[in-house]
């Protein structure tokens, strides 16, 4: 019996034998009483150490720029932080707004402003979305669970659209937005997407920019969370959507977001957004009611430490050196344990924080449950889809960065064993 | 002619002579081309220096508590920060939620949640205020301009209620809320109030807690911005409203806010709120859709540096040592330049950041304009009232902390001269 042959072509006896072997390994791991977490895209301790030098700014002079950054003021950030994020997001300084520590919070606030004040395409406010009987967002899936959670919390109906190798299914999107003026937005993680590691093609970017939407106040939420988060020297290239939108005659259509959460310190980083100057001017005005301004001292720390794009890229290469081996371990093990069995497929990302594993239909939830019983926490099955419902119950998001290589080694073994056992169960049940 | 006698009892000739003297001094100052700012309650440079030692936390170990505070997690703050703010706000740890750098932003978000999700008194959501045809807030005035700006921005109608020596006019408030169920809230700066330095009496706190409101979802926004900001050893004592609300059978009525903006660094401090555990639990749940959590590294810096209440009080005494002389200078000068003239009155605060000056009716706007022409920027006249409209056009907010003593010396001279000139103009015009 070739252990690496396609399970679907094995007879039931062979499958039962394989199951027994897997079960034996599963039970052995279970006896170890492990506690391994591959659930969230968290940097590991060694990655955090990379940014400790940032804290060396301790003198008054370190925090005095155009003004004394230790005092009030500056609604949209200090010039050096704007410059840095203008480079990351490929926008101009005046199109950038620096926020607090959370880009998710900036996305949330942007939607809340649309709900309360509305948006138009002349740099002003419009019909508040909360006054409308229905507001819908397009959610390319699998995608980022926290995007979907914002929609669910704010009563925005989600329409699932499939992710292809080139990005979201643009044919479907073009059809949807042309006819339905309650569709007000789309979530995108356009580079090294969460969880599939897909980078949108130039054609996808152009088609998003050119979309003919029935809603005049349609907005693209462009969460460029992994803009500089490459795993090797081979960098995916993402077309500039801000420029594409301008070229297509929809300059105010897109909001871009990024943060240093996975560059310096998650939770103690700096977040930013970019959008047309008209949009940005409106947001600056609206923000002035909400706060006196974000933390300029932390911005200054970041601007000094990360410097320009060349310095930033060198810093990110140090991250890659720490996490690329983890991605390799997972991918190698998936290949050796699941390759050729006909029971799973996965992506090989060039950047980002995840590996997306697709099991046979109807198996993901059971795999996650089995793994959990063996001490391995995975992102909940379905989490990568709107309302937590994976229509094919097959997608599992693997987050390899946080555990040590030794922990990962065990965790991925257990995951593969659980996929094998669940698949055999399913194949046998279907016979 | 006694220069210190009441202007109202002077004859017109005497007044014109005084005016000429004042005008001479005014013109002399004007020739100096000054640029002095008494507009905002900003700490001065020397105050910022008091907290530089906080930045000495630079090692990994400095940021590892229950968890690694450099990584994701912790929706409502680290235990040490909760403890500190529980002490400041006189609440229990579980009633406290730590936010980002801005208590104003927490107030704004709290209102936005009520607009979008509503509030009830069982720890849940209710009728979204944005669904109602009208929402009103009571605004004790003079008060904090940024509170009023939030209301104006969010389409909340403001009802002005007078500030008395004991706090807001409770008779008026009791009448209003008993009959009008669209009145959903009240803004309070209960200790060393902005701008009058008033601390609410125990009776006022009890009456607020016991208010019989027609709206079941009435809320008190208790901005305790100056909780520990004393100017001397003589500390005003504010009754605990969280306890008073519990005792009165309205445990979920009040949201308390505070921050370290004027304790450590404005804009790079830590903000917090406190409310009943039921309210806090709901808010924690709602926040989890908005952000992964606030900056724990900055919380840890603060918790280590500020320590316990005894250490915090020592730190605040160092602030007082720097700014009390500025308050004294302003008060002495007001007394010597305006005392006994019958044209102005002012408070003598024991804490906080402001001195509130009342001119004769109808003079404040002109005084601010005259001072501005002489290089002295004051808070815009009317800013301390809803919609920027001071019904008697008499209140001027003086913020003495930011300028140096030498600058303040000139600025307050100019202010007094402008009050004198404007008052004489007014008295003569009325004859």
C-alpha closest to that of B296 among B97, B106, B91, B68:
B68
CA B428 to chain centroid, in Å, comes to 36
Judging contacts by C-beta atoms under 8 Å, the chain A residues touching residue B105 are 290-291
pLDDT at A180: 98
Does any domain span residue A58?
no
Q: Name residues whose C-beta falls within 8 Å of residue B373's C-beta, 6 or more positions apart in sequence.
A: B30
**Rounded percentage of chain A residues whose pLDDT exceeds 70:** 99
Is B188 found in the same domain as B80? yes
pTM score of the predicted model? 0.97
pLDDT band at B351 (very low <50, low <70, confident <90, very high): very high
Query: Does one domain contain both A259 and A115?
Result: yes
- pLDDT for A1 beyond 60: no
Alpha helix (H) residue ranges in B238-308: 241-247, 277-290, 296-306
Whether the Cβ atoms of residue A157 and residue A148 lie closer than 8 Å to each other = no
Q: What is the pLDDT of residues B239-259, one digit of tens each?
A: 999 999 999 999 999 999 999
Task: Report the distance separating Cα A359 and Cα B323, nearest Å.
Answer: 67
Average the pLDDT over A3-18 and give the result.
92
CATH number of the domain encompassing residue B377: 3.90.1150.10
Angle between helices B145-153 and B103-116 (to 10 degrees): 30
How many contacts does A have with B, using Cβ atoms within 8 A? 152
Provide CB contacts within 8 A for A408, sequence distance 6+: A36, A38, A326, A329, A330, A400
A157: β partners: A136
Average pLDDT over residues B12-35: 97
Residues A329 and A422 in one domain: yes
A224 and A142 together in one domain: yes
d(CA A326, CA B32): 68
In a domain, B52, yes or no: no
Cα-Cα-Cα-Cα torsion B143, B146, B147, B151, nearest 10 degrees, comes to: 130
Angle between helices A103-116 and A277-290 (to 10 degrees): 90
On chain A, the residues whose CB falls within 8 A of the CB of B297 are 265, 267-268
| Residues A284, A244 share a domain | yes
**Predicted pLDDT at A123:** 85
* Pair (B390, B278) in one structural domain: no
Q: Do B104 and A290 touch (CB under 8 A)?
A: yes
| Predicted confidence (pLDDT) at residue A79 exceeds the cutoff of 90 | yes
Helix (H, G, I), strand (E, B) or coil at A335: helix
User: Rounded CA gap, A229 and A191, in Å?
Assistant: 9
Between helix A79-89 and helix A296-306 the angle, nearest 10°, is: 60
Q: How confident is the model at residue B3 (pLDDT cuts 50, 70, 90)?
A: low
Rounded to an integer, the average pLDDT of A70-74 is: 95
Residues across chain A: 431
Residue A276's Cβ-side half-sphere holds a number of Cα atoms within 13 Å equal to: 22
Q: What whole-number distance in Å separates Cα of residue A271 and Cα of residue A85?
A: 9
Q: What pLDDT does A115 receive?
A: 96
Main-chain dihedrals φ then ψ at residue B274, nearest 5 degrees = -135, 145
Domain that holds residue B71: 64-307
Q: Tell me what pLDDT residue A122 has.
A: 84
Is A61 inside any structural domain?
Answer: no
A275 & A318 share domain? no
Mean per-residue pLDDT for B120-143? Answer: 94
- The mean pLDDT value for B372-396 works out to 96
Please judge whether A268 and B70 are an interchain contact, meaning their C-beta atoms are less than 8 angstroms apart.
yes
Domain presence at residue B1: no
Place of tokens 């808010």: B283
Looking at the 3D structure of chain B, how many domains does it have?
2
Summarize pLDDT for B409-420 with one digit per residue, the tens: 999 999 999 999
Please check whether residues A43 and A140 belong to one and the same domain.
no
Q: What are phi and psi of A258, to 5 degrees?
A: -160, 165
Tell me if B53 is assigned to some domain: no
CA dihedral B205, B211, B216, B219 (to 10 degrees): -30
| Nearest one of B35, B37, B39 to B374, comparing CA atoms | B35
Task: Give one word for A156, left, alpha or beta, with left for phi > 0 and alpha for psi -120 to 50.
Answer: beta
Interface contact flag, B74 A42, Cβ < 8 Å: no
Residue B1: what pLDDT? 52
Distance between B410 CA and the closest CA of chain A, angstroms:
23
Band of the pLDDT at B310, cuts 50, 70, 90?
A: very high
Query: pLDDT value at position B46?
Result: 98
Residue at a domain's end among A253, A285, A306:
A306
CA A418 from chain centre, in angstroms, equals: 25
| Cis ω before B111 (30° cut-off from 0) | no
Last residue in a domain, options B307, B326, B352: B307
Q: What is the pLDDT of residues A359-373, one digit of tens each?
A: 999 999 999 999 999
CA distance B300 to chain A (A): 11
Query: Does one domain contain both A267 and A356?
Result: no
Please, which residues bridge with residue B231 across strands? none
CATH of the domain at A141: 3.40.640.10
- Let me know if residue A54 belongs to a domain: no
- For residue A305, the chain B residues in CB contact (below 8 A) are none
Please tell me whether residue B219 adopts helix, strand or coil conformation: strand
What is each CA distance from A390 to A50, A305, A386, B5, in whole angstroms?
A: 37, 41, 8, 83
Q: Sort out which chain A residues have CB atoms less than 8 A from B149's CB and list them.
A: 289
Task: Judge whether A247 lies within some domain.
Answer: yes
Instruction: Tell me which chain B residues have a C-beta less than 8 angstroms from the C-beta of A266.
Output: 70-72, 292
Compute the nearest-CA separation of B426 from chain A (Å). 36
Contact check, Cβ <8 Å, B71/A149: no
Inter-chain CB proximity B45 and A68 less than 8 Å: yes
A261-309 residue pLDDT tens? 999 999 999 999 999 999 999 999 999 999 999 999 999 999 999 999 9
CA torsion, points A69, A70, A73, A76, in degrees to nearest 10?
50
Instruction: Give the pLDDT score at A228.
Output: 98
Question: Do A84 and A202 sit in the same domain of this protein?
Answer: yes
Q: What are the helix (H) ranges across A219-347?
A: 241-247, 277-290, 296-306, 309-338
Q: Residue A145's closest chain B neighbor by CA? A: B289
Task: Name the strand (E) or helix (H) holding B179.
Answer: helix B170-179
Across the interface, of A42, A115, A291, the residue whose CB is closest to B105 is A291
Query: H/E element holding B149?
Result: helix B145-153
Show Cβ contacts of residue B210 under 8 Å, excluding neighbours closer than 6 positions: B244, B248, B250
What's the mean per-residue pLDDT of chain A? 96
Mark whether B393 and B267 lie in a shared domain: no
A345-349: list long-range contacts, CB under 8 Å, 24+ apart: A347/A196, A347/A197, A347/A198, A348/A197, A349/A192, A349/A196, A349/A197, A349/A231
ipTM of predicted complex: 0.96
Helices (H) and strands (E) in chain B, counts: 13, 13
- Asked whether the beta carbons of B296 and A267 are under 8 A apart, the reply is yes
Q: What is the DSSP string of A359-407?
A: ESTT-HHHHHHHHHHTTEEEPPTTTTSGGG--TTS-EEEE--SSS-HHH
Q: Which residue among A249, A284, A306 closes a domain?
A: A306
Residues B269 and B125 in one domain: yes
Judge whether B276 lies within some domain: yes
CB contacts, 8 Å: A71 with chain B? 42-43, 48, 265-267
Of the pLDDT bands very low, low, confident and very high (cuts 50, 70, 90), residue B66 is confident
Q: How confident is the model at residue B26 (pLDDT cuts 50, 70, 90)?
A: very high
| B110-117: average pLDDT | 96
In this complex, the residue of B72, B116, B146 whose CB is nearest that of residue A42 is B72
């Amino acid at each position: 019996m070739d252990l690496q042959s396609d399970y679907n072509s094995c007879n039931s006896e062979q499958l039962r034998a394989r199951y027994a072997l897997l079960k034996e390994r599963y039970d052995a791991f279970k006896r170890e009483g492990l506690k391994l977490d591959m659930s969230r895209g968290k940097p590991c301790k060694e990655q955090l150490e990379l940014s400790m030098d940032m804290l060396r700014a301790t003198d008054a002079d370190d925090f005095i720029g155009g003004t004394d950054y230790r005092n009030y003021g500056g609604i949209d950030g200090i010039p050096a932080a704007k410059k840095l994020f203008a480079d990351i997001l490929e926008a101009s300084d005046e199109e950038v707004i620096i926020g607090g520590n959370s880009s998710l919070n900036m996305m949330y606030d942007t939607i809340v402003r649309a709900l309360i004040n509305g948006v138009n395409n002349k740099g002003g406010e419009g019909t508040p979305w909360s006054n409308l009987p229905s507001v819908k967002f397009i959610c390319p899936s699998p995608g980022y669970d926290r995007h979907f959670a914002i929609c669910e919390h704010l009563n925005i109906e989600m329409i699932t659209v499939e992710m292809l190798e080139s990005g979201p299914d643009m044919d479907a999107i073009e059809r949807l937005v042309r006819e339905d003026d309650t569709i007000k937005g789309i979530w995108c993680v356009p580079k090294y997407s969460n969880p599939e590691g897909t980078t949108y093609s130039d054609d996808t970017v152009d088609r998003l920019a050119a979309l003919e939407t029935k809603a005049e106040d349609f907005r693209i939420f462009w969460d460029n969370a992994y803009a500089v988060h490459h795993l090797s020297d081979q960098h995916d290239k993402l077309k500039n959507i801000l420029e594409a939108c301008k070229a297509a005659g929809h300059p105010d259509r897109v909001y871009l977001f990024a943060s240093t959460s996975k560059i310096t310190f998650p939770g103690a980083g700096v977040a930013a957004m970019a959008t047309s100057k008209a949009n940005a001017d409106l947001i600056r005005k609206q923000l002035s009611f909400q706060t006196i301004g974000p933390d300029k001292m932390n911005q200054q720390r970041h601007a000094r430490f990360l410097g320009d794009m060349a310095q930033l890229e060198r810093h990110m290469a140090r991250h890659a050196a720490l996490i690329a081996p983890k991605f390799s371990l997972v991918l190698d093990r998936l290949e050796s344990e699941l390759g050729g069995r006909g029971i799973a497929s996965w992506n090989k990302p060039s950047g980002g924080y995840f590996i997306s594993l697709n099991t046979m239909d109807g198996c993901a939830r059971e795999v996650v449950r089995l793994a959990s019983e063996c001490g391995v926490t995975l992102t909940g099955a379905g989490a990568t889809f709107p309302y937590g419902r994976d229509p094919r119950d097959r997608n599992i998001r693997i987050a390899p960065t946080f555990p040590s290589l030794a922990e990962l080694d065990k965790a991925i073994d257990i995951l593969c064993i659980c996929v094998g056992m669940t698949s055999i169960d399913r194949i046998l049940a279907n016979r």
